[in-house]
Structure 1
């Protein structure tokens, strides 16, 4: 009669937390397709004057390094950036140029874009690959405007060269750098053309939220883990002075120049259908009809045929030739005769979550809960270590009980704590497996079959319900013991004492002298702190949606 109401109250609290922190997410429409006009990816141009058009492999290439100093505006941070310049040999006159812009990570001029930069240089372009400008930033707080200025420095470096035509310098941007290119094109209106691989057309919150949610499903993770994605991408990063999460990567300049969009059919990171539609809409609004779309079968997010983590993974068949021919045609101002959209049918599994936004109250609660629980776990660990030392000392000295737990509360606490922490480890293992699967998918690899990331969610839900029942039994036992000892009768005892009866101390002394929980302060402190820490863990489970049972 006592345990059940306590169980219902505890479950009600945790279920309410799960529902109050739930974030709606619209997945429709699903399985969108953008049919191309032809399966052929080749790019051709009308050449009525019969001018010579360079092709990949026409020239030998020489390379050298130069250095620029990139200053992060508003700070005193400087980065010495090495730039690898590749030039075609045996050509006359001013040549077109291309500056390469890095995706996520920390690429350098020596380990990035080597094959593509070499290919374009062999077709008569002067290419520049630079160390990624990062200063002291990380992937979480990257300074996109400052990065754009650094790339523009290298663009101007190429323009100043005697063998480069300053009016024919374009950019080659991939993935994350397509957020940076939008800033660059607003600063520099003279960029001639852009080649965009798997462009992130939406804000980082929407684009990354899309691909993580999609990849969780592809990896076979339990649907419950999607609630983790929803809550995580509802974080209000502006509270931490991180303002790049909600940037708008499109404006009137972003797609106002000749643009090549290239996608891999096995790309699991980019919202391709809605991305193409938005690019076309923005380009047409800017008066630009020169947008070419190519989709390559089998290839991944960076147009590679296989796992990008392995060195030497080749690019998609015909991609380098198609890309080079497009760049040559644009550099010579020719009219394209091949269809604007070619290659494999473009597919997208779920919709971009454009209604996703930062939720400051949810973020503050998340931080407070996780920090407080961590501190309680740390304190309880310290107390447990101290208690262990005291217990060993008492055993050696043949003293009495070290902690003085009574009525079996010590064993119950250990059992329930161990079960709760085991559930936390299981939750971390399931989340860890699905994160590793997402990383593998992002690199173009095949993740391991779903295991713990699938069955761990319902198992943790069942275990948590049993843990809450166990806690309700412990609290019931505490109330029962307190009642036997007269603790619950203290108010009436005080009234009796004022009426001339025995004192409270005398009444308590007449009962069983054994304490309710523990006879030592250390034991009592360990019980209270550990109980609060375990309830904090359950609240964390509730925050991430584990107490939504459907």
Structure 2
């Protein structure tokens, strides 16, 4: 019987049309997988209502009181100020860990009688008693208050795992210290909290129901998840980042932090005590971190629920998150005009027990660009997938890098010793792998560059600065989406080429080859070698391992892109 009829006819190379028709379904399958991942990990987020405004009752920020008995009210600058340092050991209740705390006490020189007091509470960062609150603590002391500023109690915690209840216990200890001082009225001690420390203030007021008043600068009225999710999403838009990068924000703030033992992300920062005392809310017009309209409304509503109508809101144009002018990253940035005067006057009036005469809501119109994302929640499945994917990608990228370095060394060694091929890539797979892997990694670098630029812009905005015009963070997203599609097409061509080579080696004829072997013909391997000499991908184990590991690593990178929403093209 002729060979053509025995089932051992040698396969022929594919036509361009057959290669195209093989590549196309592979491309569709790969794109379908990645598009599905992007949509399955998508997180809904309601930005409406947008551009909310809270109209003030007067543009004037001054605070005045009814004073029918003509009680003498001190003003800022009435007294010279004396100061001294004290030291104590702060013990973290949950662990017993200790931290040496320095405390700076300021007192009005020559003031008679028992004085009101104020304890200052640190926001984010690692402030000390000597580099924090110096100007406002001095101003209050010059109006007759005894003030206390301490090193921030942090122990071994970081910004993501602060122990808020423990911090509250330490600030309560400072309040008790002021109460024990002979020149301080124990019933007239208030707190001054900024930003992050307003969460701590909520815990403090649960411990101490005798705090007389509180000054809250840019308070974080909502949980850390909702508050930080709001300001990051808002700042991404202000920084000019492509809208696609908002997908990163949505997924990032849907992480279930409890899986990592981080319990702060979803704390409820308020209860019936939080706004039950006289409260001053102060906002900056350039503050891009605080949900001011919804925050002020929530404070007013919760205060009203517990019968407290002594809430004053002041908004100062052109000032940042901590009521200062300009970039807070620069030292010596001053407070906005009149803020210190207004704050001191308000505190003096509260300490005197007077009724406020000036409107409760004053200053610049309060604005908020988007809604607080109250529908955000921790998603355990999404979080586990995120961790597994990113770990796998890191391991595979590192492994492929190591193999690539070994391959380079082996290639140099073989060239010097005039040995055979070090990798033995066949059918052009080596060049194709290098080209597609290089393109994939360059796309990953572009994504990191775009995300880094917007993060730096957000940090600059948070400090009150003006970010550089959007560049990479604007055009990188659509470019990456296009390149990703092209990379998928390139991978589909590689897989189609592998199928072609396998076909040339007679893989499709295995049944007839098995039959031939049973009747005394060549082995299957011998018949495949006769059909198409050489390996499918590479002739060496190093080349094969490099191809397999690099292919897996690049697929993980594509899954990484899919997770962060880059395969959503709508």
Q: TM-score range by the shorter chain?
A: over 0.9
- After superposition, what is the alpha-carbon deviation per residue over 1:497-519, rounded to whole angstroms, capped at 9, x for unaligned? 34665432332342333100000
Query: Unaligned 5+ residue runs, structure 2?
Result: 1-20
Alpha-carbon distance between aligned partners in 1 of 2:512 and 2:243, rounded to the nearest angstrom: 54
Are 2:107 and 1:56 equivalent residues in the alignment? no
- After superposition, what is the alpha-carbon deviation per residue over 1:365-392, rounded to whole angstroms, capped at 9, x for unaligned? 0000000010000000100010110000
- After superposition, what is the alpha-carbon deviation per residue over 1:254-311, rounded to whole angstroms, capped at 9, x for unaligned? 0000000000011100000000110001001111010000000110110001100111
Name the counterpart of 1:405.
425
Name the counterpart of 1:214.
234
Alpha-carbon distance between aligned partners in 2 of 1:221 and 1:418, rounded to the nearest angstrom: 26
Q: Is the 8 A contact 2:505 2:529 kept in 1?
A: no
Name the counterpart of 1:20.
40
Are 2:336 and 1:313 equivalent residues in the alignment? no
Alpha-carbon distance between aligned partners in 2 of 1:321 and 1:376, rounded to the nearest angstrom: 60
1:443 to 445, 456, 463: 463
SS in 2 for 1:82: strand
Name the counterpart of 2:248.
228
Name the counterpart of 1:465.
485
Are 2:361 and 1:341 equivalent residues in the alignment? yes
Name the counterpart of 1:121.
141
When Rg is computed on C-alpha atoms for both structures, the one with the higher figure is 2
Alpha-carbon distance between aligned partners in 2 of 1:492 and 1:285, rounded to the nearest angstrom: 85
Instruction: Check 1:492–1:341 CA distance in 2 against 1; reply closer, same or farther (3 A cut).
Output: farther
Name the counterpart of 1:475.
495
Name the counterpart of 2:454.
434
Number of equivalences: 550
- After superposition, what is the alpha-carbon deviation per residue over 1:31-78, rounded to whole angstroms, capped at 9, x for unaligned? 000000000000001111111111000000011111121111121311
SS in 1 for 2:491: helix
Deviation at 1:401, TM superposition (A): 1.1
SS in 1 for 2:99: strand
SS in 1 for 2:153: coil
Are 2:188 and 1:168 equivalent residues in the alignment? yes
Alpha-carbon distance between aligned partners in 2 of 1:361 and 1:311, rounded to the nearest angstrom: 44
- TM-score using structure 1 length: 0.99
Alpha-carbon distance between aligned partners in 1 of 2:76 and 2:373, rounded to the nearest angstrom: 40
Deviation at 1:523, TM superposition (A): 0.3
SS in 1 for 2:482: helix
Instruction: Check 1:169–1:492 CA distance in 2 against 1; reply closer, same or farther (3 A cut).
Output: farther
Deviation at 1:532, TM superposition (A): 0.2
SS in 2 for 1:106: coil
Q: Is the 8 A contact 2:64 2:345 kept in 1?
A: yes
Alpha-carbon distance between aligned partners in 2 of 1:91 and 1:491, rounded to the nearest angstrom: 104
SS in 2 for 1:2: helix
| Alignment map for 1:218-367 (pairs within 5 Å) | 218-367=238-387
Q: CA RMSD in A?
A: 0.9
Q: Is the 8 A contact 2:195 2:217 kept in 1?
A: yes
Alpha-carbon distance between aligned partners in 2 of 1:493 and 1:83, rounded to the nearest angstrom: 87
Query: Unaligned 5+ residue runs, structure 1?
Result: none
Stretch moving more, 274-283 or 510-519: 510-519
Are 2:555 and 1:535 equivalent residues in the alignment? yes
Alpha-carbon distance between aligned partners in 2 of 1:144 and 1:492, rounded to the nearest angstrom: 74
Stretch moving more, 368-377 or 505-514: 505-514
Alpha-carbon distance between aligned partners in 1 of 2:508 and 2:138, rounded to the nearest angstrom: 83
SS in 1 for 2:160: coil
Are 2:531 and 1:511 equivalent residues in the alignment? yes
- TM-score using structure 2 length: 0.95
Deviation at 1:116, TM superposition (A): 0.3
Alpha-carbon distance between aligned partners in 1 of 2:364 and 2:529, rounded to the nearest angstrom: 85
1:454 to 462, 474, 477: 474
Q: Is the 8 A contact 2:97 2:155 kept in 1?
A: yes
Alpha-carbon distance between aligned partners in 1 of 2:79 and 2:334, rounded to the nearest angstrom: 21
Instruction: Check 1:399–1:255 CA distance in 2 against 1; reply closer, same or farther (3 A cut).
Output: same
- After superposition, what is the alpha-carbon deviation per residue over 1:150-190, rounded to whole angstroms, capped at 9, x for unaligned? 11111111111111111100000000000110000011111
SS in 2 for 1:458: helix
Are 2:109 and 1:112 equivalent residues in the alignment? no
Q: Is the 8 A contact 2:101 2:151 kept in 1?
A: yes
Deviation at 1:334, TM superposition (A): 0.4
1:156 to 170, 176, 193: 176
Alpha-carbon distance between aligned partners in 2 of 1:489 and 1:339, rounded to the nearest angstrom: 90
